[in-house]
Amino acid sequence: MNRERLKGHLDLLLLSVLAAGPAHGYAVISALRQRSAGTFDLPEGTVYPALHRLEDTGLLSSSWAAVDGRRRRVYSLTSKGATALAAEQGEWRRFARGVQAVTGGLVTAGGTA
């Protein structure tokens, strides 16, 4: 998938993954790749600034944990993040339905042309 297009929806994707529970960056990115069956495959290191930005805006919170002698930052969805996620999901569904309605028609027309 086009990376620039994916970046436009990255916030929604990250919030959706973290809606399942707190997770560190590696787990979030792995879940993103697995749940999209490899469609969403950004350079992993570029996802962290997005997580930091979501934390800056209060949609995520994070704290340090120690694992195998290393420090690990674990992210959680805040209540503000949950509200924003619900709104984003609703908007996305409306958008996807609209796109599907239009492009689905085009494909059908193209296929029958």
Partner 1 sequence: MTGTGDLVENYLDQLYVGLRGSPRQGRRILAEAEDHLREGVADGVAAGLTEREAQEQAISSFGSVRAVVRAHDRRLRTVPGLAVLADVAMSGWRLGSIGLLAVGASGLVAAVMNLAFGRSFVGTASGAALPLAACRHWFSNWPGAHSCAQAYLLESSSDAVSLRVFTGLIGLTLLGGYHLARRSGWSRGVLPDAFAPTIGMSLFGAAGLGLLALSLSHVSVLGPLTTGPGSYLSGAVVALAMAAVFAVQVQRTLLRHARR
Contact set with partner 1 (CB under 8 A)? 24-26, 29, 42-46, 48-50, 52-53, 56-57, 67-68, 70-73
Q: C-beta of 42: minimal distance to partner 1 in Å?
A: 8
Q: C-beta of 15: minimal distance to partner 1 in Å?
A: 17
Sheet holding 60-67, edge to edge: 23-24, 70-77, 60-67
Q: If DSSP codes are grouped into helix, strand and coil, which group holds residue 67?
A: strand
Residue 56 or 101 with smaller CB distance to partner 1: 56
Identify the CA nearest to 75 among candidates 88, 87, 61: 61
Q: If DSSP codes are grouped into helix, strand and coil, which group holds residue 75?
A: strand
Residue 48 or 95 with smaller CB distance to partner 1: 48
